[in-house]
């Protein structure tokens, strides 16, 4: 179980993807506290541009864009897995992401990933919850 508090999103996702491909089951808690490095305005602008991608013929056919922090993390990790191969599908099925810390995971040991933690003050980062609320996530 990985506690995602104060971890950089991309580094966390790549480390979790490696663990999944090794055959481990991974649960990520506190996905709303994941940090995204960069200027807040550019992060929000890029994500809003991503949200404009839709089907011209029939928008209900996708693509579907996540707005919740846990689903954004799941999608980010899915992009780092070979999802069309059996090993990638199996790895993705071993992943669980949660907002907050659910009660059934309280007894497990929480793990921090050393290479993925932030190095500067938190004011230099944007949280995943802040991004989600800006692009349409309602708590």
The domain segmentation of the chain, as residue ranges, is 2-135
State mean pLDDT over 89-106.
96
> How many Cβ atoms are within 10 Å of 83's Cβ, its own excluded?
13
Q: Convert the pLDDT of each residue in 98-124 to its tens digit.
A: 999 999 999 999 999 999 999 999 999
Q: What's the pLDDT band for 59 if we cut at 50, 70, 90? A: confident
Q: For residue 23, count other CB atoms closer than 10 A to its CB.
A: 10
CATH 3.90.1180.10 is right for the domain spanning 2-135: yes
pLDDT score, position 139: 81
Q: Is the pLDDT of residue 5 over 90?
A: yes
Q: What is the DSSP string of 10-50?
A: HHHHHHHHHHHHTT--EEEE-GGG-EEES-HHHHHHHHHHH
What angle separates helix 40-51 from helix 128-135, to the nearest 10 degrees? 50
> How many angstroms separate the CA atoms of 25 and 23, rounded?
7
What's the confidence (pLDDT) of residue 21?
98
Confidence of residue 4 (pLDDT cuts 50, 70, 90): very high
Residue 6's pLDDT is what?
Answer: 96
Is residue 127 within 8 Å of 31, Cβ to Cβ? no
DSSP code of residue 1: -
């Amino acid at each position: 179980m990985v506690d995602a508090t104060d971890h950089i999103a991309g580094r966390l996702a790549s480390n979790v993807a490696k663990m999944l491909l090794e055959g481990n089951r991974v649960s990520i808690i506190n996905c709303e506290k994941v940090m995204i490095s960069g200027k807040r305005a550019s992060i929000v602008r890029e994500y809003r541009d991503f949200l404009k991608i839709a089907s011209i013929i029939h928008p209900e056919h996708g693509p579907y864009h996540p707005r919740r922090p846990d689903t954004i993390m799941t999608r980010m990790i899915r992009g780092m897995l070979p999802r069309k191969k059996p090993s990638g599908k199996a790895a993705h099925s071993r992943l669980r992401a949660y907002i907050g810390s659910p009660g059934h995971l309280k007894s497990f040991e929480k793990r921090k990933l050393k290479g993925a933690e932030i190095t500067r003050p938190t004011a230099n980062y944007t949280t995943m919850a802040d991004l989600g609320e800006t692009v349409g996530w309602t708590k």
